[in-house]
Structure 1
Amino acid sequence: MDKLFKIAAVGDNCIDLYDQTGEAFPGGNPVNVAVYIKRMNGNASYTGVVGSDAYGQFMIDAISSKGVDTSHMKVCDGKTAVTHVQIKNGDRVLGDYEEGVMADFKLTEADIDFLCSHDLVVTGIWGKIESQLYRIKERGTPVAFDFADKLDHEITKTALPHVDYAFFSDDSKSVEEIHAFMKEMMTKGPSVVVVTRGKKGSIAYDGKTFTNFGIIACEVIDSMGAGDSYIAGFLMGILEGSSIEVCMRKGALSSSVTLGYQGAWELRSSQY
């Protein structure tokens, strides 16, 4: 029987609020990754905090409906995080971010024990746990981290020594510049560094070889969640013992699915 890999997603969640239509979709980098892992028949949990408002219950219900373990989600008095979004020329443009109760999120001992019961932990730049990552890494649980386009952020510097799989996003630099950057990041601790480049595909570096992969052609409805989809596919490949190139292909394929619908997931929106 094939092993059912368990990935723990932890950190930020937010409501993606489309200002032009009033539609609200559940999202946030770790949340999206957990949902996409389930879409690929993996096993995923999400650990984080929502507010006591209607959006908070909407978030919990939405994540649970996808089969993600929400046993370590907490509800705190206050507002659930919201990201304002607009669609311009088919691309989503992120506006103001209202952090809400996520501002005070911190892992408990019970949370850390729970996360370390999984095969891999994934979080991101706004997940609020960069200073606690060493607690997970020292127990032997691999860590993946989405640094987005924050190539030189203080959080990046704090987190990198405790990260196994580092994901960045940059579609503006030359290949030579990206290679130099990836070599530098590799010296900070990761086993693999990946840079996604939008329509230009992605580059992965394992300390020895740079591997390039393009995109899988598809109709683009909404780019929300495309990068998170790539990470989920890549990590599933890692846990399955696949080559770096196969991991990249799985990431690109996962992204192509997400690009084909409105919002980060296939889920009816809510309006409040």
Structure 2
Amino acid sequence: MKVIGFGDNVVDQYQHTGVMYPGGNAVNFAVYAQKLGVNSAYLGVFGRDEAADLIKASLLKERIDISQCIDRNGVSGYCQVNLVDGDRVFVDWNEGGISTEQPIEVEQAQFDYLQDFRLIHSSCFSRLENELPKLRGLDALVSFDFSDEPQFHDDAYLAKVCPYIDFALLSCSELTTSQIEQMLKRVTGFGAGAALITRGSKGSLFYDGVRFYEGKVDYVVPVDTMGAGDAFVTAFLIHLLDSGWRKGHFPGEGTVIEGLRKAAAFSAQICLVEGSFGYGKAYV
């Protein structure tokens, strides 16, 4: 089984320490899947700067296939972050840099490459919305992270993305349980096969189109919560795939419950690591 993260790559610049770490939803997914024992790859656009060198080096050390990535002249994406009591606080970012200014277009070469994967994971920060319809010609499942930003939760954006994905992830820690259930129904109503909402320390809610499931958190004293949501969804998706998830067949209740438990445990482990998965380097 092979999976791939398709889209964004960034460095998270920690202002309080002057250290940057590799990250991005698609990159984190690829690394976490590999840590969970699944062959994984990353497909995206790298800039030509020190940040890109760090991201590429870290991916190669984690044994991630980046052979089909493209290098382009431009600045890598960065997020400026502070850490308060182990929790990340985003300060500013450059909209993803070259990876979102000139993202990969799915042409025949990319389509042929993607044929080998069971699941393709992307996100709203990857600027690949126009490429999603092309992926429906593949056997691969498609998962998509909508983040916690309201502009990616409105009807227009959901209508553009959801018909082309099998699994949606959102972050909505401020909503009530009733509001979250309505949000999950909205997302699947627009066409997503299933939907998961993470709520930080409040746990998670999952909807398979039929019933709701609640997931608890594994409490730890966090070193850094960066990547915790990506770790959660990666572990959950891998468990579903291992349990036979494919187009036209979604695993049953026992698999979902066990998957949420495993996801919480893996996410807690990642909270004990600096950055999303380490590899910190001083920056100016």
Which residue of structure 2 aligns with residue 40 of structure 1? 36
Which residue of structure 1 aligns with residue 45 of structure 2? 49
Deviation digits for residues 113-145 of structure 1, max 9, x if unmatched?
212320110001111111111111232321000
Mark the CA change 1:162 to 1:108 in structure 2 (over 3 Å): closer, same or farther.
Answer: closer
Which residue of structure 2 aligns with residue 220 of structure 1? 222
Deviation digits for residues 178-202 of structure 1, max 9, x if unmatched?
1111112111112211111111100
Deviation of the 1:270 alpha carbon: 4.0
Deviation digits for residues 204-232 of structure 1, max 9, x if unmatched?
11111101110012221111000000111
| AA at the equivalent of 1:107 | E
| AA at the equivalent of 2:179 | E
Point out 4+ residue stretches in structure 1 off by more than 4 angstroms: none
Secondary structure of 1:138 counterpart:
coil
- For 2:34 and 2:130, the matched residues in 1 are separated by 28
Mark the CA change 1:261 to 1:52 in structure 2 (over 3 Å): closer, same or farther.
Answer: same
* Matched residue count: 268
Select 2:77's aligned residue among 74, 81, 101.
81
Would the aligned equivalents of 1:56 and 1:75 in 2 still touch at CA under 8 Å? no
Which residue of structure 2 aligns with residue 249 of structure 1? 261
- For 1:78 and 1:36, the matched residues in 2 are separated by 27
For residues 146-157 of structure 1, the aligned pairs below 5 Å read 146-149=145-148, 150-152=152-154, 154-157=156-159
| AA at the equivalent of 1:100 | G
Would the aligned equivalents of 2:158 and 2:187 in 1 still touch at CA under 8 Å? no
Would the aligned equivalents of 1:106 and 1:128 in 2 still touch at CA under 8 Å? no
Deviation of the 1:57 alpha carbon: 1.4
Secondary structure of 1:159 counterpart:
helix
- For 1:176 and 1:268, the matched residues in 2 are separated by 40
Deviation digits for residues 145-185 of structure 1, max 9, x if unmatched?
01111322744331111010111111111111111111121
- For 2:115 and 2:10, the matched residues in 1 are separated by 24
Structure 1, unpaired ranges of 5+: none
- For 1:116 and 1:179, the matched residues in 2 are separated by 34
- For 2:270 and 2:104, the matched residues in 1 are separated by 30
1:133 aligns with 2:132: yes
Which residue of structure 1 aligns with residue 247 of structure 2? none
Would the aligned equivalents of 1:125 and 1:155 in 2 still touch at CA under 8 Å? no
Select 2:64's aligned residue among 62, 68, 72.
68
RMSD of equivalent CA atoms:
1.4
Which residue of structure 1 aligns with residue 114 of structure 2? 115
Secondary structure of 1:34 counterpart:
helix
For residues 190-269 of structure 1, the aligned pairs below 5 Å read 190-241=192-243, 243-269=255-281
| AA at the equivalent of 2:98 | V
Q: Percent identity?
A: 29
Structure 2, unpaired ranges of 5+: 244-250
- For 2:218 and 2:239, the matched residues in 1 are separated by 17
- For 2:29 and 2:176, the matched residues in 1 are separated by 28
| AA at the equivalent of 1:96 | D
Secondary structure of 1:122 counterpart:
strand
| AA at the equivalent of 2:132 | L
- For 1:234 and 1:107, the matched residues in 2 are separated by 28
